[in-house]
Amino acid sequence: MALPRRKISKIIGSDITCAIEVGFTPPVNGIAMLKLKNPRRFCKKRVGFQTQRALICFAGHCPPHVNSHSEQTMTQLATLLSIYTDVFGGDLLRYILGAGGTYLLINVMLARRLGAQKIRPSAVPQGQILREILTSLRTVLIFTAAGTSIVLGARAGVITIYQDIAAFGWTYFAFSIAVLITLHDAWFYWTHRALHYPPLFRRFHRLHHKSHQPTPFTSYSFDVGEAVVNAVYLPLVLIILPTHPVALFIFVTHMMLRNAIGHCGIEIFPANAKGKPVFGWLTSVTHHDMHHAHARYNHGLYFSWWDRLMKTEHPRYLTEFARVAPRLPVRIVKTAFLVIVVGVGMLASQGHAFDLKGHYASPGLGVIVAFEDCASNEAMKCGRLVWVWNKDDTPHAQVGDMILTELVFDGTVWEGALRDPETGRTYRGSIRQSTNHQLTLKGCAGVFCAHQTWHSTQYLKTVLKRHGN
């Protein structure tokens, strides 16, 4: 029964909580809950944020005062600054270790030993490295903004960053890394070629080519426009590609190291006995170094296939590569490659189906569903409606009805039919495990899809016990 606001105001005092996000509080275990006539408006006025369905009250957690609009704004700005600062620290450290570490190891410590592999005999012009470092710091600031948008997108549910590798499996984990790298190479090639269009080059790409003889520090030496073009790739691709944090770390680390090595000016990629690249599908140091000498050619970042397909690879590339590349027996390379492939295969084979069972609550505690084996086929899973907050909100399903049916595990997710108890419509959909206590449901009608995050009631019960006294 809904209580009037005047009565609620008398009930709520300093010893009664007037706010806990409903998605984290289960309607079980005898906890008293007050269902308001206008909970969204009341909660916003009382504690400064909106709930989806109702205000849940229990002893001991009432905010001492109502936050003003200015206080909320300051809190949001402080949170944004905190995220930006954390991301900036990681991006700056990656540049320092990637560019600085590559320079220290290859261009300083091993310079004499690798002297025969140096692509150009001349020295780097005085002052170039300092300029590159200063402009790279600006690039780090721009990349940090992109990283911050990823964090905010993940919190808003626009971007999926899952925490448990088992939720998608090791096969998908490896696949996501490969997709990130392959798409980034394509993005780089085509945007890079566009930036060489004369009007764009003068405004957005000239600074990078001021480093006619590149160094590892050239890797981030961009004009503002070029930095933005490079930065937006990752937030855009993550909107459609669920990714694990470790996969992201591997991608950005690979990106930084390949970029720094590609600008180091000393060829470290091996050639066979005939001087041909052992890894012909990869761009070598010579490949990108020739781009800085001959800007019309060699636009690729990681792979050489776009340049070959579009006939933008320099005609003397293989000759120049053979001149400086170290010779390495092919047998050793093939053995190492085989070991890597076997290792990746063993990791991929460890992926397994998560057991879809237990009780889960929808956002706002609209419904609670129990997952169980389907009666018609025990290899499939079904979801039974066992509780609803308000029967009027679910006119097309009653407690006891199956609203998720014929869910089959495809190696990464459970796929089947999802029936909306509010509209009665049935959608094709999937369920994946985000964490041990959290499911992500995806329902699609044609090309249009929506996502929901459900929490285990056992987890919600634990949270309530932890904070209920």
Radius of gyration over every alpha carbon of the chain, rounded to an integer in angstroms? 28
Q: What pLDDT sits at residue 426?
A: 85
Q: Which H or E run includes 80?
A: helix 69-95
Segments of the chain with pLDDT less than 50: 1-66, 349-352
- Residue showing tokens 């000393």: 266
DSSP 4: P
Chain centroid to CA 387: 34
175 and 242 Cβ atoms separated by less than 8 Å: no
pLDDT, tens digit (0-9, with 9 covering 90-100), for 383-398: 999 999 888 888 888 9
**CA 144 to CA 149: how far, in whole Å?**
9
Q: What pLDDT sits at residue 334?
A: 65
Q: What pLDDT sits at residue 71?
A: 66
Q: What pLDDT sits at residue 354?
A: 65
The residues, any chain, with a CB within 8 Å of residue 37's CB and separated by 6 or more, are 2, 3, 4, 5
Q: What pLDDT sits at residue 378?
A: 79
91 and 140 Cβ atoms separated by less than 8 Å: yes
DSSP 266: B
Q: What pLDDT sits at residue 301?
A: 95
Percent of the chain at pLDDT above 90?
51
- Where residue 297 falls (left for φ over 0; alpha for ψ -120 to 50; beta otherwise) is beta
How many residues make up the chain in this entry? 469
Q: What pLDDT sits at residue 3?
A: 39
426-465 in b/e form (b: 16+ CB < 10 A) is: ebebbbbbbeebbbbbbbeeeeeeeebbbbbbebbbebbe
Neighbours of 115 (CB within 10 A): 10
Q: What pLDDT sits at residue 68?
A: 54
Q: What pLDDT sits at residue 125?
A: 92
457 and 26 Cβ atoms separated by less than 8 Å: yes
**CA 129 to CA 424: how far, in whole Å?**
65
DSSP 114: T
